[in-house]
Structures are given as structure tokens and as C-alpha cells.
Amino acid sequence: MKAPKTETSARPRYHATDDDCPLHWFDADWGAFEDLERRIAEHPADFFAGDDFEPAGACAPRAAQFASVELPENPTAPQAHADHLLHDVFRHVMPVASPTFVGHMTSSLPSFMPSLAKIVAALNQNVVKLETSGALTGLERQVIGMLHKLVFGQDGAFYARWLHDAEHSLGAFCAGGTTANLAALWASRNHVLRADEGFAGVNGAGLVAALRHYGYDGLAILVSERGHYSLRKAADVLGIGRDQLVPVAVDGDGRMRIDKLREALDDLKARNIRPMAIVGIAGTTETGAVDPLDAIADVAEEAGCHFHVDAAWGGATLLSERERGRFAGIERADSVVIDAHKQFYVPMGAGMVLFRNPAWTQDIVQHANYIVRKGSVDLGRHTLEGSRGAAAVMLYANLHLLGRKGLARLIETGVDNARYFATLIEQQPDFELDSRPQLCILTYRYVPEAVRTALQAASPAAREPIQAALDALTISIQEMQRDAGRSFVSRTQLTSSQWNGRAIAVFRVVLANPDTTREILQNVLAEQRELAARSPALPALMGLVGLVGE
């Protein structure tokens, strides 16, 4: 439905000054976006359900609309710019706060979060140094300490000793999981190739000299084949090479196979390549699988290498006493990454890296004469970024206003919804569950009954074109559902244990929004069934089915 254009402010408070001097914008707020803020920030889900938002076609590239690269020469009237943002931009974003948006890891936020974010933006603190953050330096250290205790569970004496120690850090906030993984593996590389007698260390002498000094022909990082692509970026940036990110096969539940991990380590040893780190995944991006962390910790200890856990998605589940048993062994990791902007329900982007041993941050310490000076408590001494906002304030607020029990209830709601949806899918004669949820993510696909029967009866040679046509149908349904805008699921391609390891296209659902109801999930399947009947990919699939048995 095409919504009528409405003015965002009936009574603009902005008045032009001499020559439109920009200094007035640095005075008290003129309220230029006051009405826009009311329409959207007070309740984003209502905005996405209202007439000011157009759900259909949000993923269109709109290249023509944003084609000009000329800088605006003169100021635009605030009301005109607010109208432009509402009608031409915000009207066509993705409705991530909607309870029907169940395809990605971005969800709705607590109602107080937009107001708090506005305050944090107004304060504009840079938390890498005390001189531009004040009390926020101590606050961030405290929040990092809370998460450190959640993961590693050290005693009170440990935190009294290390929490505010100027020369060490228990971890750091980062822009997101990608930067946090990079920071952890940066520390790992520098520790493996640290200074030695007659050698300055990799951080001083460089990678080539370090490998020559230690006598290695390369470094490697081992991770399950379901590892996040940010690890490839880290291997690239750190000079290890993406080819040296070694994928380890997974079992039918998407968890790293320990026997294959040992085989990979043996192969590296035979080629004189030093295993720098083994990465366990605590909540894979595509299926939510949790690797056998305790067993991986044993292998890492035997191999004498860094044990890193990417818990960007699943780490918040440690808040739930009911579910945290899945993560046994995470407390043995040398480093852990958690994204606060996922299941801790804070705005994008807020990642965290945590180090079990505070001394690990000494391997990446940096200084400058004008900031992050030696002996200072500046957080930037132990972080990659030289400028960072006060994301810790958002998590600090959620930890206090929701508490551990409240956040755990949100986590458990998502897990329960995923289990319900998996059961619902299994009850349908024309849907196939691909991955059973371990957390709140699952994958599945639409398979008409006749197609399912044909797949079982077909020879391997006849089965392959049917699977390819099913892939095309899955992609078609997902794109049609996305473009219609009533609900949203994502898609991916995964090797399936049900189909002898063949990679198949599947729908992917992430059930983190606490407002997503069982009725919504039922409607998602009903809509997909309806779209399948109209998909241009369906006739080709059914034609192949008709050939089976002829």
C-alpha cells in the first residue's frame, strides 16, 4: 500500500540565521528531527507496521536514487531533509524490529535503548583514553569484568587484582565480532611468535623474520567448516594467509569432529606448520551449533596452542542456567568473543573480546605520546581501534534494567520458539527440517510430498537434477517472501547429512525477537507454501518428478 506523504513537523523550530551560519547547530537542539524521532524511535515495530513504512521491495538497490556524488553546496531546510529521510530512506529500510523478521541476527531492542543511545551520542565520549571518557573508562572495565566472570568464573580475589590494573586488561569492547576475533588472534600470533633471545618478536621484526627465527614454514588456524567468514579476514590481515585457515569437518549436528581435528593437526606437523590457534564455535552463524568445547580444549592443550572460542552469537546463552551446560569447556578458552549487539539486545555494533589471562593483552599493547601513555589506564593501549564510542553504557543498562534473569528469559524464549518451530516443520508433509536447533537458529526447506517420494525412489543420477531444482525453488521462495515484505527468513547453502553431504539451499530462521509468536511462525510456513505454488521454479521441479519411475 502506498502511504500518503506527510510532513514530519507541523511547526518547524528552525530559523535561518545570517548567511545560514552553521554555528547555530552547535547550540541547543532546534528539534529538527523531533517528529521523526517520535514516529520511529518511540516504538520501531509500530513504525514498521504503519503507513510511513513500505515493506515491499526494501532490498531493491535504488542505485538511481543515490547516484549523485556532488556535495551539497548550501544548507538544506531541516524539515525538507527530515521528509527526505522519512520518505526516501527510512521508509525502505529492513524491518528488523518486526516480530515477523526472523531471518537474521538483528532483532528488536528494549524500549529505553533509543533514548539512551541519544544521550550517549550527545556525550560523544571516546573511551580509548581517560581524557575523553572519564568515568566511562571505569564503567567499561567493570562491564568487561562482569562478562569475564560469566565466562571464566574466577574468584573475587582475581577481579580485585586485575579488574582495574593499568598494565593489563581482561578484554575490550570492539566494533563487532569481526574486530574482536581479529584482536584475539592478533594476541595469539604475537604470543606464539613472541620476543626471544636475540629476536625482537613478530610485532617488531615482522612475520617473515619470526617464522625464520622459530623455524616454521607457516602458521595455521583450525576451525570447523561452519566457522564465520571473519576468521578468513583475520588470517588475511595477520599475514597467515586464508589458505592456512584449516576447515575441520563437522558431524551431523554441525559440530566439529575431534577425530578430524587431530588428523588436521597431524598433517600440519608433517608440513612443519605451527598450529597457532584452534577456534571452537559456540553458536555457528548458520545453524547455531555449539562445538564440543571441552574436547577441543583437551586437544589444544595437548598441541600447545591457543584455544579461542567464537561465541559472538551464543555467548549470551551463558546467562541461562537451563542452557549453559551446552558450553561446557568455554571456561578453558584462552580468549572468547561475544557480540553484545546480538542476544544482549544492544544497538549495532558492540563486540567484546575476553582474555582468561590478563597477561595476554601485553602481546598487543600500544602507546603514543599524546594518548594511551605508558602507565595510564587508557583502554586504547590494549585495543585495535583508536577511537570508540561508549557501547559499554548500553550493555551496562541492560544488565541492570533486565538483570541476568530477565536476559536469560529472553534467551530461553528464543530457544523454546525454535524447538516449537522445528516440531511444527516436522509435522508438515511438505516441509523438511534440515538442522535441529541447539540454540534459537534452525534451517529447513519446502519439499512437496511428491518430490519427497521421488527423491527416495530415484537413483543417485536421477536424484541430482531434482535436488538442483529444489535449490532453485528454495531460492525463489525466499526472494519472493522477502520482496513481498510480510515476513522474512534468510537462506544459506549447507552440506546435509540427510543427503549424503550434498550442499542444499535451505531457509534459515533466527528466533531472537521475544515478540515473535507461534501464530507468526505458522503464518511463515503458510506463506511459503502459497509462494511455492506461484513460483516460476515449481513447474521445472514437478516435471523432473514426473520422469522418476518412467
The pLDDT, as a whole number, for residue 498 is 85
Distance (Å, whole) CA 352 – CA 365: 17
The pLDDT, as a whole number, for residue 3 is 42
Cell of residue 395, nine digits: 550493555
Taken in order 100, 105, 110, 112, the sign of the CA dihedral is negative
The pLDDT, as a whole number, for residue 236 is 92
Contact present, 256 and 246 (Cβ < 8 Å): no
How many other CB atoms sit within 10 Å of the CB of residue 411? 24
Look at residue 439 and give its three-state secondary structure: coil
∠ CA 312-317-320, rounded to 5°? 165
Contact present, 329 and 293 (Cβ < 8 Å): yes
The pLDDT, as a whole number, for residue 332 is 97
**348 Cβ neighbours under 8 A, 6+ residues apart:** 106, 176, 341
Q: Reduced to 3 DSSP states, what percent helix, strand and coil does the chain have, rounded to the nearest 5?
A: 45, 15, 40
Numbers of helices and strands, H then E, in the chain: 18, 11
For domain 413-547, give the CATH number.
Answer: 3.90.1150.10
Q: Which residue has the cell 542452557?
A: 323
Half-sphere exposure in the Cβ direction for 176 (13 Å, CA): 11
The pLDDT, as a whole number, for residue 345 is 94
Sheet with strand 490-496: strands edge to edge: 431-435, 441-446, 502-510, 490-496
The pLDDT, as a whole number, for residue 227 is 86
Taken in order 453, 455, 461, 462, the sign of the CA dihedral is positive
Contact present, 365 and 381 (Cβ < 8 Å): yes
The pLDDT, as a whole number, for residue 11 is 45
Q: Which residue has the cell 535504488?
A: 62
The pLDDT, as a whole number, for residue 167 is 82
The pLDDT, as a whole number, for residue 106 is 86
Q: Which residue has the cell 505454488?
A: 533
The pLDDT, as a whole number, for residue 370 is 41
Contact present, 523 and 487 (Cβ < 8 Å): yes
pTM assigned to the model: 0.89
Distance (Å, whole) CA 178 – CA 167: 25
Distance (Å, whole) CA 364 – CA 356: 15
Per-residue pLDDT of the chain (550 residues; tens, 9 = 90+): 334 444 444 444 545 455 577 887 888 777 888 888 888 888 888 888 888 888 877 777 888 888 899 999 888 888 899 999 999 998 988 888 899 999 988 888 999 999 999 998 988 888 787 777 788 888 999 999 999 999 999 999 999 999 988 888 899 998 888 889 999 999 999 999 998 888 988 988 999 999 999 999 999 999 999 888 889 998 999 999 999 999 999 998 999 999 999 999 999 999 999 999 999 999 998 999 999 999 999 999 999 999 999 999 999 999 999 999 999 999 999 999 999 999 999 998 899 999 999 887 776 655 344 444 555 666 667 677 777 878 999 999 999 999 999 999 999 999 999 999 999 999 999 999 999 999 999 999 999 999 999 998 888 888 999 999 999 999 999 999 999 989 999 999 998 888 888 999 999 999 999 999 999 999 999 999 999 999 999 999 999 987 665 5
How many other CB atoms sit within 10 Å of the CB of residue 76? 11
Domain ranges of the chain: 18-93, 111-169+358-401, 177-340, 413-547
Distance (Å, whole) CA 232 – CA 243: 9
**486 Cβ neighbours under 8 A, 6+ residues apart:** 55, 100, 527
CATH of 177-340, one of 3.30.2020.30, 3.50.50.60, 3.40.640.10, 2.40.37.10: 3.40.640.10
DSSP-derived secondary structure letter, 413: H
